[in-house]
Structure 1
Amino acid sequence: MSHVLSFAPVFPAMLRTEDGVRIDAAHIPPAGGEARADLGIVVAHGFTGSWRERTARRIAHVLSRYGGVVAFDFRGHGRSGGLTTVGDLEILDVEAAVRHARVVGYSRIAVVGFSMGAAVAVRHAALRRGVDAVAAVSGPARWYYRGTRPMRQVHWAIERPVGRLAARVAKRTRIARGPWDPVPMPPHEAVRLIAPAPLLIVHGDADSFFPLDHPYELFEGAREPKELWIEPGYGHAEAAATPELIRRIGMWIGSNLL
């Protein structure tokens, strides 16, 4: 199983969403004596990501020291079926992963999302409820943001046929065509519905995708209990996340789910 996670036991799973999409997932049980047996941590990757990528596997490995981990590929990504809607129907993918975490025995569930996964984690917690904590890392506050070059490239990949082809070939990401109809509730509105579940917003001051007005807008819109970490020198999402940052997120989850 060297193609998945070589430094911790991994139990692959194929989940199915409420709308019938197959989701490629894995369960990493709690590792080490201090990890909680009742805590499940669902990890939601960013756009064009995958739980099988090395950066995502490292994050899952670190978080498994605090509880069991369920990692998965969003629809249209990697080995999952369907097409990505870039933040809309993906709440059903998170719901399938949360349900799997409960089936394998976890009574307390936290969701940690990165970038697109952060937006989905916020929307899932607000609209579907049923999770005990949310950590949104490097997430956008609002849709259609084009103020940085990386986000203009993302919109090119989503909106242009040649961009969708490039994403399919280079990143194994299959993108649904056409605009949202209706437009889903944006994160800065959904965030106010998360309470009483605790919310952690993590953002880097060196994020090249979303500037700092995004985490501040999310934080201002959220209700207590909430916490905001602006990380000096931190870039964007999984690729820039250090083991120390992930450990701090794991400790935050544990301290808020006593």
Structure 2
Amino acid sequence: MAKGEPSEIRLLGIQSAGNEGEAQIVTLHTNRGNIDTRLHRPPKEGGQAGIVWVFGAGGGLGGPAGGLYTRLAEQLAPEGVTSLRVDYRFPNQLPECTLDVLLGGAYLETLGVTRLALVGHSFGGAVVIDAGVSSDAVVGVAALSSQTYGADAVGQLSPRSLLLIHGSADEVLPDSCSRWLYERAAEPRELLLYPGCRHGLDECRDALDRDLGRWLRRTLLGV
């Protein structure tokens, strides 16, 4: 979090407003405004693994590659993983967006989650790196097509696992961004570069689903 920025957010209440597909529509009421989320719960209680997903500078809930976050959240729920897709209160404001991720993670902890992964795309990559160093529950951070601005804390993530994914044809943020982050990170770390894939990762959708899903299962479930 940037020096001098507000660093406290408190959960005041939780409001559920039905379902959207397989997800529950949940609003987290905080002392700093409301956070719109989608919650994916496992069919059986007792799962201790969870994921917070965030998008780019404009916010949103679906993720890149045509709804990556929704797809993987639905795939992982039957395996005992609770997912929370988070829409920022104030998009493109790194300190506030980081607070959103931390509050989302804290909410999942109230549901029994003890092992948490954070996944962010583009601007969201910096958000999850920043949030990752501030939560003891976080065991892994995945940054997709990440920017470097605001991600200086990447060197402090260890011993948490770090996954960096980038397309070699990214027209918004070059893959040198993820290579820069990889060089400054400590182990355990992994860098995947997809030839011909652009910023939104649409061209490498199948590989992305496979590789990110595999990393999440290994990081959270040990499989």
- Shorter-chain TM-score range: 0.7 to 0.9
Counterpart check, 1:196 vs 2:159: yes
Q: Which amino acid aligns with 2:115?
A: R
> In the TM superposition, what whole-angstrom CA distance separates every residue of 1:60-94 from its partner, at most 9, and x where no partner exists?
22233222211010113xxxxxxx34322211000
* CA-CA distance at 1:52 after TM superposition: 5.6
Task: Select between 89-98 and 55-64 the one with higher mean Cα deviation.
Answer: 55-64
Taking a change above 3 Å as real, the CA distance of residues 56 and 237 of structure 1, as seen in their structure-2 partners, is: same
RMSD across aligned positions (CA):
2.6
Task: Select between 202-211 and 248-257 the one with higher mean Cα deviation.
Answer: 248-257
Q: Please point out which of 109, 132, 151 is paired with 2:139.
A: 132
Q: Is contact 2:165–2:193 with CA below 8 Å preserved after alignment?
A: yes
When you count strand as a share of all residues, which structure comes out higher?
A: 2
* CA-CA distance at 1:227 after TM superposition: 0.6
Taking the TM superposition and a 5 Å limit, the aligned residue runs for 1:7-18 are 9-17=22-30
Q: CA separation in 2, counterparts of 1:54 and 1:125?
A: 20
Aligned residues: 199
Say which structure, 1 or 2, has more relative contact order (CA 8 Å, 6+ apart): 1
> In the TM superposition, what whole-angstrom CA distance separates every residue of 1:21-42 from its partner, at most 9, and x where no partner exists?
21001111237x9xx9322111
Q: Please point out which of 68, 82, 97 is paired with 2:82.
A: 68
Q: Which amino acid aligns with 1:132?
A: V
Taking a change above 3 Å as real, the CA distance of residues 95 and 56 of structure 1, as seen in their structure-2 partners, is: farther
Q: Matched residues, percent identical? A: 27
Structure 1, unaligned runs of 5 or more? 77-83, 143-185
Q: CA separation in 2, counterparts of 1:16 and 1:240?
A: 37
TM-score when normalising by structure 2:
0.79
Structure 2, unaligned runs of 5 or more? 1-17
Taking the TM superposition and a 5 Å limit, the aligned residue runs for 1:1-258 are 5-6=20-21, 9-17=22-30, 19-30=31-42, 37-51=47-61, 57-66=67-76, 67-76=81-90, 84-142=91-149, 186-187=150-151, 189-237=152-200, 242-257=205-220, 258=222
TM-score when normalising by structure 1:
0.69
Q: Is contact 1:16–1:96 with CA below 8 Å preserved after alignment?
A: no
